[in-house]
Structure 1
Amino acid sequence: MTAYDDLMEFTRDTMALGQVAGRLGWDQETMMPRGAAPQRAEEMAAMESVLHARRIDSRVRDWLAEIDDASLDTVGQANMRHIRRSFERTCKVPAALAARIAKLTSAAQGIWAEARAADDFMAFAPTLAEVIMLKREEGQALAAGGDVYDAMLADYEPGTTGADLEAMFGTMRPVLSELRAAIRQAKPPEPLTGTFDEGAQMKLTRQLAKTFGYDMSRGRVDKAVHPFSSGSGLDVRITTRTNPVDPFNCFYSTIHEVGHAAYEQNIDAAYLLTPLGSGVSMGVHESQSRIYENQIGRSRAFTGWLFGQMKDAFGDFGVKDADAFYAIVNRVGDGYIRTEADELQYNLHVLLRFDLERALMAGDLQVSELEAAWNDRFEADFGYAVDRPSNGVLQDVHWSVGLFGYFPTYSLGNVYAGCLNEAMRKALPDLDADLAKGDTSAATAWLGANVQTHGGLYQPREVIERAAGQAPNEAPLLAYLKEKFGGIYGL
């Protein structure tokens, strides 16, 4: 065997262990007994110690020194790019620090959940301050004198900096604000009313998962407080949630997570348990969930089909026709929760978090000031005050588990989705006729062939540019939003 063969065999075992650690996280969110949290924190810390030791194993350094990347094919070179980058970054973080972060963030998740249930930010603030302290220490180690936030962002979107995002978001924000203001002057459609059996919601949501190509033989749908997708390759699981007065929360959370899961399921099988065997970045990942959920799932054509499915499941639920249903699905209204926000306002939620977490990491904002800063920014952006912490600073799990640098990838994913949707529509001129019949196969096949199958073969921006035929930019997304919501609200 060559040094490359030895390295890849070692890497497959490491990645398999990483999948086991991910399954522990999935269990913690779905089925773990509440009282098991302290033990799970110890288990997660132990697993992280094992993984960290493998990632900095001296044999990896020796193999990397021996391998001539130029002698490898395209796939081999891509594997080496990921392995070298991961090795170099991991070696910068002391093992003791990595274990402390893993242990703290596992425990912090439960503390955040209890504080959220009690609407008591100060019950979580000391733990969050400790998480930020450790994550800043990690970022300083990774940045090696550079920008700490950029070092964190690189874990989720390699090749993108905070300055890049600030420029992009700065272009988007006034356009979104202007469109939102115009819509607020128009008459909104009446909201959905009534109650919808949660068992029937879950039955229909599993049908929707299959409609969007989710392979249930390699996955499952469960319920969790915060919907997510977990795993890759042959075991990719999703969660959703139900609300008896808001079935759209269930249905579109499911479609969103299926977008993530389909990406993982559709990666070339030859890349299984290799660095290429998972999504290349969180921005590209989010592009799949958002295009599934919004450009496909909330389109006039598809909502016409979904209207019929809901009538079959729930009977007459008070919406007169498919056009009214389309308007209700895409209704722009007041709300506090990012995951429940409409397409137009969603990015304003993300931009708020992006600015606040950059300030936290830079030390320009203290945890003791965070709740007030959140509330002030929210009122400025949305025009009304946050009523309680669970609808504000405590609504997201991300900071409790140390995911700083993650939030901006949500809006970057929207930008990528805008570029992909423009290209997909050009390639599939009859797409709406298929969607009107509940047939998403042409759309999902196009995305599978042009984005998903590549896994980590290319760099994130390269994936989008190859598929869309242009460098990623915000213009297609903004044009799409103007056309869609301008039509619904008669602007």
Structure 2
Amino acid sequence: MATDQTRYDAFVERVERLTYLQGASGVLSWDQQVMMPEGGTPARSRQLSTLSTMGHELLTNDEMAADLDALEADDSLVDPQQAVVREVRRQHDRAVRVPSDLVERTSRATSEALGVWEEAKAEDDFDLFAPKLEELIQLKRDYAEHVDPDADPYAVLFADYEPYLDLDTAERVLTRLREELVPLVDRIRESDVELAVDAFSGQFDTERQQAASRDALDTLGYDWDRGRLDVSSHPFTSGNQFDARVTTRFDESDPLGALTATVHEFGHAQYMLGLPDDHYGTPLGDDRDLTVHESQSRLWENHVGRTEEWWGLFLPTFTDHFPDVEATPRDAYEAANQVYEDNLIRVEADELTYHMHIVLRFEIERDLIAGDLDVSEVPQVWNDKMEEYLGVRPETDAEGCLQDIHWSHANFGYFPTYSLGSVLAAQLDSAVREDLDLSTQIRAGEFEPLREWLYEHVHRHGARYTTPELVEQATGEEYTADHFLDYVTEKYERLYDL
């Protein structure tokens, strides 16, 4: 039968209205983290909870359900249309099981929790945040129970961030990383090689760091007409293909931390800006969830921003801002890739020990959601696992269990996608280098070929394909950790002469 174009068009209009409403919530959330005065939380929490409830109602109303039923029965829909219906159906089926009042209470609680987390971190007082964390955990348990009472609640939450790679896949990848990276880190720590770790020691003015970060974004090709750089307590990117904003944070003693975070967020923003303009408002103009999103940021951060070619290109610009720095590109490369002994902070971690941070968080939040760990036990368990996995014990909760923003957003199930995305970044990098002389192009500051490759193979597809389908389309093979493990083994054995 012929496609009911009138119904499909009306359906798309509903989906677009939902997307625009969610986008408005995103801007308010960005403002809360970047510009809103400290006293604005009571009003902002009500604004966000109202928009969240309205979005939930748009997604779950009878008209949306009827459209989905009718369009799924229409066997003449073409592939892109089928993808739109598939993605909205997945969202609808999960959301329709969740009461609106639970959506509103969760939104308000997360908005309030953000300010409490920031205060608790500043005061180094986990007890300030603990009641909010308990509330958010219970709200997310209730949510998972409504979505699928027969499933592992943590698996339900994980599927909000990565719906097409299941939790078993995530656990297999994390287990493999733990089993293969820990021995590599041990070998590195036994090495007699001393890298140029002091190349960027000293104090670095944060305004100059921000100027250097802007220059890094210029070098990579950031579109300032559709983006901006701001400061936040935790680096993040927010927006869409018309407005993709990045934030970072600055530490006077760690200029490389801010710079790598900025390059990382550029990867997220570049993905957003590469999504199809003419499909904005539908899944065809939306990203393919967090594993793919994180692959873009980690590709730019690690496979571009941590290379010796990048430092050969960018070091002169950096030293324009900090002329007292006396370092060669090799020195900068070694400093940017050192494996730390005292690796406390995830966003400042090296490529290898980073994944032990993810394993730690994954295990803790999985036990919290399952009820196998009490909130009051989190600081002790966190510190114990940090000592076991990373060989270092936090002296404060601010540099321990309060360091990440995610739990204040109730983003339980998010953390595994960081490692999944890093693995995919290496797989994409391997495919890129079969087509491009990427090292030469980085050295010359020619980033357009890489941006075009990623657009052609990843960005332009939006959410048309599932994650496994997109990975196979882009790389010619199934999702695998092999490329990542080969990449880090070869790189760090050379660095540390193993």
Scaled by the length of structure 2, what TM-score is found? Answer: 0.96
1:134 and 2:139 aligned: yes
Q: d(CA) in 2 for partners of 1:433 and 1:159?
A: 35
Q: Give identity over the alignment, percent.
A: 38
SS at structure 2 position matched to 1:71: coil
Q: How does 1:115-130 map to 2 (within 5 A)?
A: 115-130=120-135
1:154 and 2:177 aligned: no
Instruction: Tell whether the 8 Å contact from 2:343 to 2:392 is kept in structure 1 after alignment.
Output: no
One-letter amino acid of the counterpart of residue 10, structure 2: D
Select 1:253's aligned residue among 229, 247, 261: 261
Select 1:427's aligned residue among 426, 430, 435: 435
Select 1:200's aligned residue among 177, 191, 208: 208
Aligned equivalent of 2:484: 477
Moved more, 67-76 or 127-136: 67-76
Q: Displacement of 1:204 after TM fit?
A: 2.1
Q: Displacement of 1:409 after TM fit?
A: 0.2
Select 1:458's aligned residue among 458, 465, 468: 465
SS at structure 1 position matched to 2:151: coil
Instruction: Tell whether the 8 Å contact from 2:428 to 2:475 is kept in structure 1 after alignment.
Output: yes
> Could you list the per-position Cα deviations for residues 424-456 of structure 1 after superposition, in whole angstroms to 9, with x for gaps in the alignment?
11111x221111122222222211211111111
Aligned equivalent of 2:189: 184
> Could you list the per-position Cα deviations for residues 248-274 of structure 1 after superposition, in whole angstroms to 9, with x for gaps in the alignment?
122111110110111111012221111
Q: Displacement of 1:159 after TM fit?
A: 2.0
Instruction: Tell whether the 8 Å contact from 2:241 to 2:276 is kept in structure 1 after alignment.
Output: no
Select 2:277's aligned residue among 269, 276, 280: 269
Q: Displacement of 1:120 after TM fit?
A: 0.8
Q: Displacement of 1:69 after TM fit?
A: 4.4
Q: d(CA) in 2 for partners of 1:61 and 1:328?
A: 55
Q: Displacement of 1:196 after TM fit?
A: 2.3
Q: Displacement of 1:73 after TM fit?
A: 1.4
One-letter amino acid of the counterpart of residue 338, structure 2: R
1:295 and 2:303 aligned: yes
Select 2:46's aligned residue among 33, 42, 46: 42
1:112 and 2:117 aligned: yes
Q: d(CA) in 1 for partners of 2:177 and 2:70?
A: 47
SS at structure 2 position matched to 1:230: strand
> Could you list the per-position Cα deviations for residues 195-236 of structure 1 after superposition, in whole angstroms to 9, with x for gaps in the alignment?
223222222212221322321101111111101000112111
Aligned equivalent of 2:218: 210
Q: Displacement of 1:463 after TM fit?
A: 1.2
Q: d(CA) in 1 for partners of 2:218 and 2:293?
A: 19
Q: Displacement of 1:474 after TM fit?
A: 0.9
Aligned equivalent of 2:422: 414
One-letter amino acid of the counterpart of residue 56, structure 1: T
Moved more, 82-91 or 58-67: 58-67
Q: Displacement of 1:247 after TM fit?
A: 1.4
Q: d(CA) in 2 for partners of 1:53 and 1:469?
A: 40
Aligned equivalent of 2:494: 487
SS at structure 1 position matched to 2:233: coil
SS at structure 2 position matched to 1:225: coil
Instruction: Tell whether the 8 Å contact from 2:215 to 2:317 is kept in structure 1 after alignment.
Output: no
Q: Displacement of 1:362 after TM fit?
A: 1.2
One-letter amino acid of the counterpart of residue 32, structure 1: M
Instruction: Tell whether the 8 Å contact from 2:206 to 2:251 is kept in structure 1 after alignment.
Output: yes
Instruction: Tell whether the 8 Å contact from 1:305 to 1:436 is kept in structure 2 after alignment.
Output: yes
One-letter amino acid of the counterpart of residue 59, structure 1: E
Q: Displacement of 1:277 after TM fit?
A: 1.6
Q: How does 1:220-369 map to 2 (within 5 A)?
A: 220-319=228-327, 321-333=328-340, 334-369=342-377
SS at structure 2 position matched to 1:112: helix
Q: Displacement of 1:43 after TM fit?
A: 1.0
Aligned equivalent of 1:3: 7
Q: d(CA) in 2 for partners of 1:461 and 1:418?
A: 15
Scaled by the length of structure 1, what TM-score is found? Answer: 0.97
Aligned equivalent of 1:51: 55
Instruction: Tell whether the 8 Å contact from 2:80 to 2:464 is kept in structure 1 after alignment.
Output: yes
SS at structure 2 position matched to 1:133: helix
Q: Displacement of 1:353 after TM fit?
A: 0.6
One-letter amino acid of the counterpart of residue 463, structure 2: G
Q: d(CA) in 2 for partners of 1:73 and 1:208?
A: 42
Q: d(CA) in 2 for partners of 1:128 and 1:88?
A: 27
Q: d(CA) in 2 for partners of 1:274 and 1:43?
A: 24
Instruction: Tell whether the 8 Å contact from 1:233 to 1:273 is kept in structure 2 after alignment.
Output: no
Instruction: Tell whether the 8 Å contact from 2:383 to 2:400 is kept in structure 1 after alignment.
Output: yes
One-letter amino acid of the counterpart of residue 474, structure 2: A
Instruction: Tell whether the 8 Å contact from 2:458 to 2:470 is kept in structure 1 after alignment.
Output: yes
Count of aligned pairs: 489
Q: Displacement of 1:160 after TM fit?
A: 2.3
Instruction: Tell whether the 8 Å contact from 1:69 to 1:77 is kept in structure 2 after alignment.
Output: no
Instruction: Tell whether the 8 Å contact from 1:69 to 1:80 is kept in structure 2 after alignment.
Output: no
SS at structure 1 position matched to 2:132: helix
Q: d(CA) in 2 for partners of 1:308 and 1:468?
A: 35
> Could you list the per-position Cα deviations for residues 368-407 of structure 1 after superposition, in whole angstroms to 9, with x for gaps in the alignment?
2111111111100111211110111111110111101100
One-letter amino acid of the counterpart of residue 110, structure 1: G
Q: Displacement of 1:246 after TM fit?
A: 1.5
Provide structure 2 residue ranges, at least 5 long, that are not aligned to the other structure: none
Q: d(CA) in 2 for partners of 1:227 and 1:69?
A: 44
> Could you list the per-position Cα deviations for residues 450-479 of structure 1 after superposition, in whole angstroms to 9, with x for gaps in the alignment?
111111111012111211111111111011
1:383 and 2:383 aligned: no
Q: What is the CA RMSD across the aligned residues, in angstroms? A: 1.3
One-letter amino acid of the counterpart of residue 151, structure 2: G
Q: d(CA) in 1 for partners of 2:369 and 2:392?
A: 27
